[in-house]
Structure 1
Amino acid sequence: MSSIFITGSSDGLGLMAARSLVADGHSVTLHARNAARADETREAVPQAHGIVVGDVSQISEMRSVAELATENGPYDAVIHNVGLGYMASERVETADGLDRTFAVNVLAPYVITASMPRPKRLVYLSSVLHQQGVFDLSDAQWTRRPWDGNQAYADSKLFDLMLAFAVARLWPDVLVNSVEPGWVATKLGGAEATDDLDAGPVTQVWLATSDEPAALVTGQHFYHQELAATHPDARSVEKQDQLLAHCAELTGIRLT
């Protein structure tokens, strides 16, 4: 049995992964944005070991989620599932003055990773749309450019992939990988999605728990349990370090 923490697990792929894991006998701690969502999640997965509550669009609550989750640990694996979708019609500014898509999709996994004891495995959710991302930190908060929700999302998923590769490089004692789950019909993916919903959580569950040799790797990117192509910038150590420095500057938290 493994102990696993899943961010953003009150619905969608995070909830599906949680149900799969508890069905296999694992101990799972979940995360919901607020108390009402936590109550719904508790009803959906009554076997959960615990539920952490926090709105990870705010840096203070990213820290709080990490602290609360740590109290339920230690963990064999953490799945960074939390994220906002690509259909945001306008830029939304957080309480910290940041773009909400960047805050939730990029800063939350960064802060939670940096603020928790190292698990044995880390899984980050990216997207095939990361291939359309642009590595440009000069206006990562979209304060000068005209808002483009699709591009903001694609950029954030590229940053997630780069974060995974950076952590894998810096923490060689942890198995760190990323996943593109496919375009599936969750609330994030939308009703028009064409990929296999049932397959959506399979790879992250596999990477978090399996002892198959193919899952016991680090610094890789997967789609449906197979290695997947990545953006040309994803493995640039220089750009990874620039992203880490940018996140540290915004949050005051360094990944060591």
Structure 2
Amino acid sequence: MATVFITGSTDGLGRAAAQSLLDDGHHVVLHARSAERAAGLGELASRVAGIVIGDLRSAAQTRSVADQVNAIGRMDAVIHNAGVYTEGTRGSTPEGHAGVLAVNTLAPYILTALIERPRRLVYLSSGLHRGGEGSLRDLDWTKRSWDPAKAYAESKLQVVALAFAVARRWPDVLSNAVDPGWVRTRMGGPGAPVDLETGQRTQTWLAVSEEPAAKVSGRYWHHMRQEEPASEATDAEFQDQLIARLGELTGVGLPGA
């Protein structure tokens, strides 16, 4: 049985993934944005191997999340599930970054770099990432007028590129990206066409399955099938430039092989 850490797991897809893994006998470490959110986990809290707390908009709290996970022990897999959708303004995190960038891109990068290396990494993206090319020209939205849809698309392209960059750098780790579809969650809304069970299935399968089909790396998945992502995400030069820029923005370096 595997031990799996899931970010953003107090509700929605993260919680559904946690429940699925627990039902299959795996050990799960949950993540809550705040103590108040953790208190709302109810009976789920009694079933898990641990709960870590930290707001991923804050780089300091994201580092603390990594420390808390490492204190529990080495994970077999990490599912980078936490994310925010379109926000009306750029906002400003404690470090001055755009909120969407901080949660959707910087946080998974920091956690990837600082959590003891697991055997598998799964990053949640979106089919909308295909509209996010060209982000390196103004990664943090300091020069452009704010465009919520574009910012979201860029962040989801960046996380696919991060998954693929890690697959290249760490050949001993299975690193993949997943588009769960438009799911009926608080973020997706009640009219979304995909149910929670379908939405969580691919990422939990990639995190723990011993099936040969799941033991691949550097792939982009949608509903248990591999798909072709945006060309920029697969470009090694873009990946390397992105990793370098994220290192500059966070002060955290991504270790090599």
**Aligned position for 1:59:** 59
Deviation at 1:42, TM superposition (A): 4.7
**Aligned position for 1:108:** 107
**Aligned position for 2:80:** 80
**Aligned position for 1:185:** 184
Q: Is the 8 A contact 1:3 1:73 kept in 2?
A: no
**Aligned position for 1:162:** 161
Deviation at 1:45, TM superposition (A): 4.2
- Please list the CA deviations of residues 116-166 of structure 1 after superposition, one character each: whole Å capped at 9, or x if unmatched: 111010000010101111232222222222211111100000000000000
Partners in 2 of 1:42 and 1:174 — Cα distance?
33
Deviation at 1:203, TM superposition (A): 0.3
Deviation at 1:41, TM superposition (A): 2.1
Per the normalisation by structure 2, the TM-score is 0.96
SS of corresponding position for 1:198: helix
Partners in 1 of 2:89 and 2:59 — Cα distance?
21
Letter aligned with residue 121 of structure 2: L
SS of corresponding position for 2:73: coil
- Please list the CA deviations of residues 98-124 of structure 1 after superposition, one character each: whole Å capped at 9, or x if unmatched: 000000000000000000111010000
- Structure 1 or 2: larger helix share? 2
**Aligned position for 2:47:** 47
Deviation at 1:169, TM superposition (A): 0.3
Partners in 2 of 1:115 and 1:42 — Cα distance?
29
Letter aligned with residue 38 of structure 1: A
SS of corresponding position for 1:158: helix
| Aligned ranges 1:4-19 → 2 under 5 Å | 4-19=4-19
Please tell me the root mean square deviation across aligned C-alpha atoms, in Å. Answer: 1.1
**Aligned position for 1:218:** 217
- Please list the CA deviations of residues 156-197 of structure 1 after superposition, one character each: whole Å capped at 9, or x if unmatched: 000000000000000000011110000011112223322233
**Aligned position for 2:38:** 38
Deviation at 1:93, TM superposition (A): 0.8
Partners in 2 of 1:190 and 1:89 — Cα distance?
17
Q: Is the 8 A contact 1:42 1:51 kept in 2?
A: no
**Aligned position for 2:193:** 194
- Structure 1's consecutive aligned runs of 4 or more residues displaced over 6 angstroms after TM superposition are none
Partners in 2 of 1:113 and 1:178 — Cα distance?
14
Per the normalisation by structure 1, the TM-score is 0.97
Question: Identity rate of aligned residues, in percent?
Answer: 51
Q: Is the 8 A contact 2:29 2:50 kept in 1?
A: yes
Matched, 1:255 2:247: no
Unaligned segments of structure 1, at least 5 residues: none
Unaligned segments of structure 2, at least 5 residues: none
SS of corresponding position for 1:123: strand
